[in-house]
Structure 1
């Protein structure tokens, strides 16, 4: 295992007209590990606890999930694609995010990971069965790596609309009337986490799980201190995968920021958003198109104030693309769309947020007053 990631010689080095105007400077983080323990294949599902599973199920169906299993104590949610579930919500005393679960590329990876970390392989509590290794990342998040014995079958899709483009006219004598219905979730795309130990957490995911960085963001005037956000993808060699499966950024808190779920197209995002708005749910930010990852996006709050994203048309990268580098700013989050809201950016000065800041400045982490002020400036610029 390599504790210090090093560059590989075959990665794509050109950035002009690629995905970022800037690449790494000499000596900067290369965004990958030379000899990771394993290489996970994908994000399998996310785990939450909530006290009211009935309310959680109502929102889940309105947001576009299917329900694959429901017991007195658990709610398993899925998309239309074949594979693993997207999310499990277990009954608990409070609403909280537990952690991410990644899918191993092969069963033997669990044994390899268990040997390297002194953990054990145990049976997984997942519909259809499987096995899992339980870990903790440097932020304290429970992270599980799973090998499932059975995949969920595919479900009927929400069909994309036939579009006319200039002189390319594929639809004649037919109107467009996208139905006002939930956006049908296809799959889980990514999760975003905040951590005050960003560099340690980043290296752990690269070294342990073999993930690689697509884009780094850095604070204005502090690039020499290293990145403060990373968009991280799985390494499946020549197979192109989502621009990011995991994203992390430096911050005073340790916790969930949002998770993202793929839907068919822009009309599915927009019509599904109208459906959610009519039922009284709160949009956090959208609709727009991101820069890092290029996704069309729309962000919503569930009844427990967790943020979830509908997305479509995201970038896909193979292992050959090296990280891009860009300054961190609120204005740099989207190519078009409304300005990022304070709710999305987490800049509302709530009592809980102020407590996180005070604790972080006293803790053993990567935050200091200069770093914190630069973060605040970035999120208001």
Structure 2
């Protein structure tokens, strides 16, 4: 049993001081503590996501329309970036099919790579990121390739879209001036998070906590099945007293194993809305939005790219330091947003397809955490 699960099982560290900062309740006695006692390293952030696509020209057109900048382009790869200084936030490599490869996380220190490689029996190798860098390549329990990287040079910052000056009640900061946000792409500032589906949720959760030192902000559980443990986790990096994104990685139990969506920070609500109009005029399809989430609180707007990958514009997300304990809440569709239109079937992945049917059959026959009760619970949550 891993240290993470052992901590939960012995009940020694009961969450008795939950402050209701972000959830109606905290953990019950013996539930998962949401962090590992002695992780191998503590990653600092997501660095980038890796994809393969056959048509890099088409991928670049959408990327620019969505608000990415191009950090580098070669015959075999397209590196995308935000306006903030740092690493690129996505690489799309030329491949025979469109598929998600995996995430790359940023190591806090170069020495973390050496330590991680020793503990995991791997090696430190060069990585082909613009500006150079090094990587340790791992495989998580779901089968996703996971890179932990340290970059040699940072990309310089680019010009920002400035937030609009707003009037509030009697606080009049804009006088004799009109408000006309331009109809242009929502300029991406940085990569915020990635969401993954897995059939081995508990194993994958403990791997990210034990190996990369991440900690849980919120757990979701299925109605009537809380005693079986959570089925979704919103996971952040542990930067001590420094407040960071509510979630850098989110995972949920499901019949498939794969990418769900990724999220990219933009300036504000007007940037989200004006950028959405720009995308709509160019024939792209909104999946769900605009609204405000509950877990994480961020403003959101979800779109599909030409290869059917889902990407999110977001702004104004929660920031937690290491002393905020995990919240616990039931999983439900109605619990996805504070306000906004109802979640669509497309966003929920509820539209039947031959691949989804195959996923369900394979999951129920396989050695994993999916069983008929879990499947029924997930279907109920989707309609609740």
- Shorter-chain TM range is over 0.9
Task: State the shift of 1:235 in Å.
Answer: 0.0
Matches within 5 A, 1:301-340: 301-340=304-343
Residue number in structure 1 paired with 2:212 = 209
Determine the C-alpha separation between the residues in 2 that align with 1:187 and 1:205: 22
Residue number in structure 1 paired with 2:172 = 169
Residue number in structure 1 paired with 2:48 = 45
Task: State the shift of 1:5 in Å.
Answer: 6.1
Task: State the shift of 1:380 in Å.
Answer: 1.4
Residue number in structure 2 paired with 1:85 = 88
Q: Report Cα offsets for 1:211-258 as digits up to 9, x if no partner.
A: 000000000000000000000000000000000000000000000000
Residue number in structure 1 paired with 2:18 = 14
1:188 pairs, out of 186, 191, 194, with 191
Residue number in structure 1 paired with 2:131 = 128
Q: Report Cα offsets for 1:60-80 as digits up to 9, x if no partner.
A: 000000001001110000000
Determine the C-alpha separation between the residues in 1 that align with 2:24 and 2:275: 34
Q: Are residues 1:154 and 2:157 paired?
A: yes
Q: Are residues 1:343 and 2:346 paired?
A: yes
Relative to the length of structure 2, the TM-score reads 0.97
Task: State the shift of 1:11 in Å.
Answer: 8.3
Q: Report Cα offsets for 1:320-339 as digits up to 9, x if no partner.
A: 00100000000000000000
2:5 is paired with a residue of what secondary structure?
A: coil
Task: State the shift of 1:6 in Å.
Answer: 3.1
1:276 is paired with a residue of what secondary structure?
A: helix
Residue number in structure 2 paired with 1:256 = 259
Residue number in structure 2 paired with 1:63 = 66
2:65 is paired with a residue of what secondary structure?
A: helix
Residue number in structure 1 paired with 2:235 = 232
Q: Are residues 1:140 and 2:128 paired?
A: no
Task: State the shift of 1:344 in Å.
Answer: 0.3
CA contact (8 A) 1:5 1:206 kept: no
Residue number in structure 2 paired with 1:375 = 378
Superposition CA RMSD, Å: 1.3
Q: Report Cα offsets for 1:48-70 as digits up to 9, x if no partner.
A: 00000000000000000000100
1:101 pairs, out of 100, 104, 107, with 104
Determine the C-alpha separation between the residues in 1 that align with 2:53 and 2:4: 36
Aligned length: 380
Determine the C-alpha separation between the residues in 2 that align with 1:15 and 1:199: 26
CA contact (8 A) 2:15 2:26 kept: no
Query: Structure 1 residues 5, 310: closer, same or farther in 2, change over 3 A?
Result: farther
Q: Are residues 1:218 and 2:229 paired?
A: no
Where does structure 1 lack aligned partners over 5 or more consecutive residues?
none
Q: Report Cα offsets for 1:265-298 as digits up to 9, x if no partner.
A: 0000000000000000000000000000000000
Relative to the length of structure 1, the TM-score reads 0.98
Query: Structure 1 residues 6, 340: closer, same or farther in 2, change over 3 A?
Result: same
1:4 is paired with a residue of what secondary structure?
A: helix
Determine the C-alpha separation between the residues in 2 that align with 1:3 and 1:325: 17
